[in-house]
């Protein structure tokens, strides 16, 4: 039986009868709805809901998108993503804000707890935690889809969007494209951050002390690893690994009550704090590396900390929530009258 949250007429952003593509909240709501469309696509598949019984189509047709094709995992055959094409009616030609609209959106869902897909999704969650998401076949399918679309229509005509595990997939895809000089506008909802939930600590001095200690340890390990490899360690002699990515500024949407993603708040703000106290180089080294990544490298194992990024437009939803499920849910991002705080962090 379908839940109320799956039905667009009951849970969707019906208040968005007209999309102002210059409006950041409207773009956020559309991107989140398209991600929800992927969730419902997979639920339709699992429940064998087809034709008029399918619940997924309204999540994109309401905004004049068409489903170009689903992205299917090669292991369990589940739908984990979708490529949408924007098809505005002729009457929209007078809308001056259409230049901000995408031609195509590649969206990825997060983990589903249903029996048909949960084992594969959890397997990928574990790969992410171990910094090995880039080695999975699902990530290869996602990156290949993005590369094909960029080759066909260019990076400026595409959006990436994802929620939870799906936002990690979108982040990995966006980083891979950015390394090739192609910067795709990205909407990453509740992106997971591999770290202890330091942001949940209420004592500001204790929280700052833990962050500084962690930065010093990470920076020290980074320099030690580079010395071991007989590389130059001075910032003037090495290529900044974030340099190629710094021009890519994905939109991150986090909730401080969601411990899965809330650490991004401290991640960016702490880098600024380290610069303010004259420890910017330590902060930059800590930003670029994770202890897990460094330890894996010490044992000669390949790893990639997907969650570490140089720049971002960070939107924090400070609207009161009922519980963790509400704080981590995709539905929060299209609700009207949200209390949002937004900051731009540009890596230098």
Asked if 109 contacts 81 with a C-beta cutoff of 8 angstroms, the reply is yes
- Note whether 192 and 128 are within 8 A (CB): yes
Assign 9 a pLDDT band (cuts: 50, 70, 90). very high
Q: What mean pLDDT do residues 241-252 have?
A: 88
Contact call for residues 139 and 169 (beta carbons, < 8 A): yes
CA-based angle 37:320:196, to the nearest 5? 80
Q: With 80 as the cut, is the pLDDT of residue 78 above it?
A: yes
Q: Does domain 4-197+306-345 have CATH number 3.30.43?
A: no
Within 10 angstroms of residue 280's Cβ, the number of other Cβ atoms is: 16
Q: Which residue has the higher pLDDT, 288 or 114?
A: 114
The torsion of the CA quartet 324, 258, 139, 270, rounded to 10 degrees, works out to: -170
What's the average model confidence in pLDDT over 67-74?
98
Whole-number pLDDT of residue 244? 80
* Among 322, 251, 304, CA closest to 35: 251
22-65: pLDDT as tens digits:
999 999 999 999 999 999 999 999 999 999 999 999 999 999 99
Q: Which two tokens stand for residue 121?
A: 């999704």
Q: Which residues contact 50 (CB under 8 A, 6 or more apart)?
A: 44
Domain residue limits, the chain? 4-197+306-345
pLDDT in the model for residue 83: 98
Rounded to whole angstroms, how far apart are CA atoms 156 and 146? 12
Q: Which residue has the tokens 């731009």?
A: 344
């Amino acid at each position: 039986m379908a839940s109320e949250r799956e039905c667009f007429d009951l849970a969707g952003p019906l208040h968005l009868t007209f999309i102002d593509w210059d409006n950041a909240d409207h773009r956020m709501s559309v991107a989140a709805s398209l991600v929800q469309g992927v969730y419902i696509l997979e639920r339709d598949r699992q429940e064998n809901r087809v034709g008029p019984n399918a619940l997924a189509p309204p999540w994109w047709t309401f905004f004049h998108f068409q489903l170009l094709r689903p992205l299917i995992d090669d292991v369990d055959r589940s739908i984990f993503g979708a490529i949408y094409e924007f098809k505005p009616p002729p009457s929209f030609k007078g809308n001056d804000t259409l230049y901000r609209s995408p031609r195509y959106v590649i969206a990825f869902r997060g983990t589903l707890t249903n029996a048909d897909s949960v084992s594969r999704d959890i397997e990928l969650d574990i790969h992410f935690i171990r910094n090995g998401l880039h080695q999975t076949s699902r990530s290869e399918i996602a990156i290949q889809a993005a590369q094909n679309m960029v080759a066909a229509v260019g990076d400026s005509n595409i959006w990436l969007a994802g929620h939870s595990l799906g936002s990690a997939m979108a982040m990995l895809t966006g980083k891979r494209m950015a390394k090739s000089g192609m910067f795709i506008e990205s909407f990453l909802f509740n992106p997971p951050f591999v770290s202890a939930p330091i942001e949940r600590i209420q004592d500001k001095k204790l929280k700052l002390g833990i962050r500084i200690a962690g930065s010093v340890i990470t920076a020290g390990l980074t320099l030690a690893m580079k010395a071991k490899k007989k590389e130059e360690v001075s910032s003037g002699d090495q290529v900044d690994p974030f340099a190629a990515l710094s021009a890519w500024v994905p939109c991150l949407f986090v909730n401080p009550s969601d411990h899965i993603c809330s650490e991004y708040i401290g991640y960016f703000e702490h880098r600024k704090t380290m610069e303010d106290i004259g420890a910017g180089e330590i902060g930059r080294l800590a930003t670029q590396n994770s202890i897990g990544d460094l330890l894996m490298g010490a044992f000669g194992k390949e790893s990639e900390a997907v969650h570490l990024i140089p720049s971002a437009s960070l939107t924090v939803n400070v609207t009161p929530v009922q519980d963790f499920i509400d704080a981590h849910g995709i539905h929060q991002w299209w609700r009207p009258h949200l209390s949002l705080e937004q900051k731009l962090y540009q890596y230098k």
